[in-house]
Chains A and B, each alone.
Chain A
């Protein structure tokens, strides 16, 4: 079929016209091969301009369209829409930027005109080899995946499920609840937590909108906002992974504690009756606080800030729960003497100071310390430390409770890799902006809540979970359509040799390997058209629509002829 390329030069009234001699341009190009018509117009992006273009496309029976005007960032979309309206596939069009890249960068009219001619010829050279491409449209999926069944994940799930969104809640452990199931009370109100948490778990189990996977892990999560393809597999069985699609992902995998064995001076793991805060919570919840010999301790040292120097950040919650521990102890063992050793005391918030004041008393001492070392002292423990003034002091106690730093969950790296989000230097997931976008990530549609995002207490966690639910409910609306990228990669089945170089290069997880054919295959819906695979493929089996070698080669050739 014979090509009929229509070339339209915009005066951009007069941004372009005052530098580029458009008549000269028209004269030079009108006899070029395949150019059926070349005209100028005052302002092509105006309503008149668009009407003019639409009429021209139809009247001149154009097969391709070249517009010489402003930056594609400005009006490529505009002219593509005009094209489509006129019945010409919008991809059979090329925009030559003779404004930002020509008229606006020189005062020399001669040079500007010459360059404009080159740029337009390059666009013509390219457009000759354009192919029609069809838009794809898929429904956005309104469902949500919540990874982690602790308090953060539970709260997010409930907030989402109440207005009838479908939620998939995946939890690694055999049961929901996470860390908070180990706490008897929370430190602010000192009210029992189990009622609250059990109530929420009950609600989850009875809500038809929430599908719970326990003993399970997310194996794969590829895609983009509105269309994530998820695979979940069991940790305790070899079953086939369960597959489903969601539109958003909430990551609530919580945290773990710094390994106190890394600081041998604290004697954890080597000395009896040196325990971590989590171990103490569990002991307290079980009903009996006792030493290894079964007797209740008469004196306890609670050491704050374990591992703080090593980790380089304050874990925010330890001082508060250490104060809570002092309260647990004095409430349950009336004569006990408690010493809270801290390197810095952190009691933020409008009500926490009160608890601190209440806890301090005749049997609870708050001591600033440095350089602690715990050794055995007959049946007891000797806590040697330097006090505020630097003098060496020795404290003999029955039990030592360590408050280790809060660390990211063990699975953080794995989840980061699977979802493609980033971890910060400390290993917690990186928020999009720590001040103004603290629960979004660099990937639209993936949110991080709770301690997975950074150490925090329960109320802050609940705030984040509700925020994530709110964001999802408002932006992921059922019935919304998504238009995946049109200019995607394609891999020739005949030419692919199966070396998998492109697979390791793809940042979007859009390439999979077909084991039976031994070739790489592109998922057109997930592919973003970045072109990395095309660059990496040594034989050229991979190519990108709308950026084919022929198109680029001809464009360059015309530009530098």
Chain B
């Protein structure tokens, strides 16, 4: 684990404005040629990631918007999937978006060589459907709740997130445990060190108070998470409950398409493989009396889970996008915890750690082998 280095930075008039000021300064000094950062959409009712070249646009940016409209990893991937380009870009995202970006880099869907990834302690994010009801009011409510670390309004997944301060990018803004009107600028890599140096920031301060507060916070969330999982398992566990849970699913596949780590150009479950003749379907209907049409709703969900669980970052984009209000994010996140624990893997934590699917260990999973071997 890399040793994190940090500096205490004065945050006047606000954390947000200071971050923007730092980004402006770094663009001026040529540390970055462009920044990917959320900005409010002209319609006022949403936020979008913008690749900003002209630093004067930054004053309208919102580093920590109240909704996660598009998962940041998708934004970064769209810019660098086909190569690293010549310009140096900084991307400002939430920790789960950074983790998804790291997973995408492992899957060849993002090139991070010329990217400096900046994250911050995340208070959670509002479900987009709630946000859309009263955008203006909700921006205010979100900012207040964020300050108080009050997560009641946030996505159900945010409320049980124990990785809201995970540092897997290059730089991180640590607000937890910071004294009034300051924050910690924490570096996790040589790229981060470099950027801080060029900004004249000396990464030699003690960040213990941040690390302690982060641990306390995370431990509390872990307890909440365990409890929530127990309740959820009782509700959705077993094939009958599972089918019931997904009974409203209309197979719109929104969840799959907004998921940052679902990268297939043509999903298996949209391909020819799941298209059968009328006679095949009729046979199934006959053998069961009747079948839902199209069948295999739960198969899609479980299949998708099987394919992406190892990389799931529990962001909840899927749940936000579900047109039928199914708690798909909570279910997938719960299983992802278990899948990843099997391989001692935390998705998106470390760029050098290969995804278990393609990592071979001779001695592994002995508990599922035959005892006669």
A and B touch in the complex (CB under 8 A): yes
Decide: A497 near B283, CB < 8 A? Known: A538-B307, A540-B271, A540-B273.
Answer: no
Q: Which of B9-17, B66-74, B260-268 contacts A (4 or more CB under 8 A)?
A: B260-268
Decide: A536 near B265, CB < 8 A? Known: A549-B272, A549-B273, A561-B283.
Answer: no
* Contact of B108 with A539 in the complex, beta carbons under 8 Å: no
B71: min CB distance to chain A, Å: 17
Indicate whether A518 reaches chain B with its CB closer than 8 angstroms.
yes
A539: chain B residues within 8 A (beta carbon): 264-268, 271
Residue-wise interface mask of A (461-502) relative to B, using a CB-CB cutoff of 8 A (1 in contact, 0 not): 000000000000000000000000000000000111111110
**In the complex, residue of chain B having the shortest beta-carbon distance to the beta carbon of A496:** B265
* Contact of A538 with B81 in the complex, beta carbons under 8 Å: no
Question: Restricting to B213-240, which residues have a CB under 8 Å from any CB of A?
Answer: none
Indicate whether A351 reaches chain B with its CB closer than 8 angstroms.
no
CA distance A439 to B178 in the complex (A): 67
* Contact of B271 with A498 in the complex, beta carbons under 8 Å: no
A494: chain B residues within 8 A (beta carbon): 265-266
CA distance A557 to B282 in the complex (A): 13
CA distance A549 to B272 in the complex (A): 9
B319: min CB distance to chain A, Å: 22
* Contact of B109 with A499 in the complex, beta carbons under 8 Å: yes
B109: chain A residues within 8 A (beta carbon): 497-499
A339: min CB distance to chain B, Å: 45
| Partner pick for B357 among A496, A501, A540, CB 8 A cutoff | A501
Indicate whether A504 reaches chain B with its CB closer than 8 angstroms.
yes
Indicate whether A505 reaches chain B with its CB closer than 8 angstroms.
yes
* Contact of A500 with B108 in the complex, beta carbons under 8 Å: yes
Question: Restricting to B112-144, which residues have a CB under 8 Å from any CB of A?
Answer: none
User: Is chain A's binding surface mostly helix, strand, loop or mixed?
Assistant: loop
Question: Restricting to A523-553, which residues have a CB under 8 Å from any CB of B?
Answer: 536, 538-541, 549-550, 553
| Partner pick for B268 among A500, A504, A536, A538, CB 8 A cutoff | A538
Indicate whether B358 reaches chain A with its CB closer than 8 angstroms.
yes
| Partner pick for B263 among A499, A505, A553, CB 8 A cutoff | A499
* Contact of A540 with B268 in the complex, beta carbons under 8 Å: yes
B108: chain A residues within 8 A (beta carbon): 498-500, 518
Indicate whether B341 reaches chain A with its CB closer than 8 angstroms.
no
CA distance A518 to B109 in the complex (A): 9
Indicate whether B364 reaches chain A with its CB closer than 8 angstroms.
no
Indicate whether B280 reaches chain A with its CB closer than 8 angstroms.
yes
**In the complex, residue of chain B having the shortest beta-carbon distance to the beta carbon of A554:** B280
| Partner pick for A497 among B263, B268, B357, B358, CB 8 A cutoff | B263
Chain B: interface residue total (CB-CB under 8 A): 19
CA distance A540 to B280 in the complex (A): 21
A540: chain B residues within 8 A (beta carbon): 266, 268, 271, 273
Indicate whether B285 reaches chain A with its CB closer than 8 angstroms.
no
Indicate whether B149 reaches chain A with its CB closer than 8 angstroms.
no
A143: min CB distance to chain B, Å: 33
A541: chain B residues within 8 A (beta carbon): 264-266
A553: chain B residues within 8 A (beta carbon): 273
A499: chain B residues within 8 A (beta carbon): 107-109, 263
A498: chain B residues within 8 A (beta carbon): 108-109
Question: Restricting to B88-120, which residues have a CB under 8 Å from any CB of A?
Answer: 107-109
CA distance A557 to B264 in the complex (A): 27
* Contact of A495 with B265 in the complex, beta carbons under 8 Å: yes
Residue-wise interface mask of B (256-300) relative to A, using a CB-CB cutoff of 8 A (1 in contact, 0 not): 000000011111100111000000100100000000000000000
Indicate whether B199 reaches chain A with its CB closer than 8 angstroms.
no
B283: chain A residues within 8 A (beta carbon): 561
CA distance A550 to B280 in the complex (A): 12
* Contact of B107 with A557 in the complex, beta carbons under 8 Å: no
B267: chain A residues within 8 A (beta carbon): 539
CA distance A318 to B285 in the complex (A): 77
A417: min CB distance to chain B, Å: 12
* Contact of A497 with B273 in the complex, beta carbons under 8 Å: no
* Contact of B280 with A505 in the complex, beta carbons under 8 Å: no
**In the complex, residue of chain A having the shortest beta-carbon distance to the beta carbon of B263:** A497
A305: min CB distance to chain B, Å: 31
CA distance A553 to B358 in the complex (A): 27
CA distance A539 to B283 in the complex (A): 27
Indicate whether B82 reaches chain A with its CB closer than 8 angstroms.
yes
CA distance A496 to B108 in the complex (A): 12
B103: min CB distance to chain A, Å: 11
* Contact of B280 with A538 in the complex, beta carbons under 8 Å: no
A520: min CB distance to chain B, Å: 10
CA distance A536 to B283 in the complex (A): 30
B82: chain A residues within 8 A (beta carbon): 518
B266: chain A residues within 8 A (beta carbon): 494-495, 539-541
**In the complex, residue of chain B having the shortest beta-carbon distance to the beta carbon of A549:** B273
Q: Residues of A at under 8 Å CB distance from B? A: 494-501, 504-505, 518, 536, 538-541, 549-550, 553, 557, 561
Identify 13 residue pairs between A and B in the complex whose beta-carbon atoms are under 8 Å apart, listed by A's number: A495-B265, A495-B266, A497-B109, A497-B263, A497-B264, A498-B109, A499-B109, A500-B107, A538-B264, A538-B307, A539-B265, A539-B266, A541-B265
